[in-house]
Amino acid sequence: MNNYTIEDLSKFRLEQAAECLHLAEIALKHESLKGSLNRSYYCIFHSMRAVLAFENFDSKKHSGVISAFRQRFVKTGKLATYLSDIIEDAFTIRNDSDYQDFYIVSKPDAIQQVENARGFLKAVEDYIQRGIFMIREANSSDFKAIAALEKQVSGIHFNARPDIFLKEPFNGDSVKAQKYFEECLQNECEKIFVYEENGDILGFCKTNAWDYEDHPVYKDVIVLNIDNICVDEKARGKGVGRHLFNKVKSYAKEAGAARLELVVSDFNKSAREFYEHLGMSVKTTCMELLI
């Protein structure tokens, strides 16, 4: 099992990108233009892999990395469209330089590629830096926003199983609900993370840790259980849930947990597919008999 977090992996790849940029600059200074083009491209390549780490994605093929970056960050508007042009230009000129016989590299082209790589790396670094601060631990002032998100999804559960779920289980005006929320914040075994963007909370995740130390049946182990991941309707499909999951995954490693667990209702097919896509698999099956 790897001991590094998603943040560790992204940082490592950013360092690779920065090293490639440095080598591109040295090669340019010494008139090694083909070498400079090659390193400029790899600066861009490792920058893409650095941000894709937060998506739990990597590929051995350059085309796979490029396609995923465009699909998940450019087409969604998270990063500027001009970055896609920089990738195309760098990929094409690097291939021509590396694989075409008698290909002549002009110094202006090499200079431009270094500048493009520098700008690309900075854009990715800025995005990642903003992303780190998007996810934080919840506090008392987040109650209303979290209650509103809970209300969005409560109908799904109530409509599927009205025999189990309340129609409005987390009323934002309820003293009982607010008391429960405050108790969760104060419980050392529980964590609530919120995804905040431009002052708006677009999602949250609630977890609790189970410590099986000295258990009569199970081996000594810490398990982090995900109670709930909820994303605002207007922000779905933009990676908010994935970012929250990755944050919880990193937190689980920091807490010394051996694994992540959660319960997903049989009727919630989309949620199950989402978690399976993130790498989770079925451990047990919970069955019932209505009496």
Q: Structure pTM? A: 0.61
Decide: 93 and 111 in contact? Cβ < 8 Å.
no
Closest CA to 49 of 40, 60, 58: 58
CB count, 10 Å around CB of 27? 20
Mean pLDDT computed over 104-111? 95
pLDDT at residue 2 tops 80: no
Mean pLDDT computed over 150-160? 87
Handedness of CA 122, 125, 129, 130 (dihedral sign): positive
pLDDT at residue 174 tops 80: no
Q: At what angle do helices 6-29 and 33-52 cross, to 10 degrees?
A: 170
Decide: 8 and 250 in contact? Cβ < 8 Å.
no
pLDDT at residue 171 tops 50: yes
Decide: 99 and 39 in contact? Cβ < 8 Å.
no
**pLDDT-derived band at 52, boundaries 50, 70, 90:** very high
Q: Tokens at residue 283, please? A: 């451990």
pLDDT at residue 172 tops 70: no
Mean pLDDT computed over 5-17? 91
- For residue 97, the model assigns a pLDDT of 93
Closest CA to 118 of 12, 31, 47, 34: 47
3-state secondary structure of 257: coil
Decide: 218 and 196 in contact? Cβ < 8 Å.
no
Q: Tokens at residue 218, please? A: 């199970």
Mean pLDDT computed over 190-194? 95
Q: Encode pLDDT of 230-251 as tens digits.
A: 999 988 888 899 889 999 998 9
Q: Who has greater pLDDT, 113 or 178? A: 113
Distance between start and end Cα atoms, the chain: 44
Mean pLDDT computed over 110-132? 91
CB count, 10 Å around CB of 149? 22
Strands 259-262 and 222-231: parallel
Instruction: List Cβ neighbours of 94 (8 Å cut-off, separation of 6 or more).
Output: 37, 38, 40, 41
Distance CA 9, CA 125 (A): 14
- For residue 181, the model assigns a pLDDT of 92
pLDDT at residue 107 tops 70: yes
- Give the whole-number percent of the chain exceeding pLDDT 90: 68
CB count, 10 Å around CB of 83? 22
Count Cβ atoms within 10 A of the Cβ of residue 277 and give its class: 0-12 exposed, 13-18 middle, 19 or more buried. Answer: exposed
Helices (H), the chain: 6-29, 33-52, 62-69, 82-99, 107-134, 143-160, 175-186, 240-254, 269-277
Distance CA 13, CA 69 (A): 15
- For residue 212, the model assigns a pLDDT of 87
Q: Encode pLDDT of 194-238 as tens digits.
A: 998 767 899 999 999 999 888 888 889 999 999 999 999 988 888
Q: How many CA atoms lie within 13 A of 246 on its CB side?
A: 25
Q: Average pLDDT, whole number, for the chain?
A: 91
Distance CA 180, CA 192 (A): 13
Mind listing the domains of the chain with CATH numbers? 6-134 (1.20.120.330), 138-277 (3.40.630.30)
- For residue 1, the model assigns a pLDDT of 43
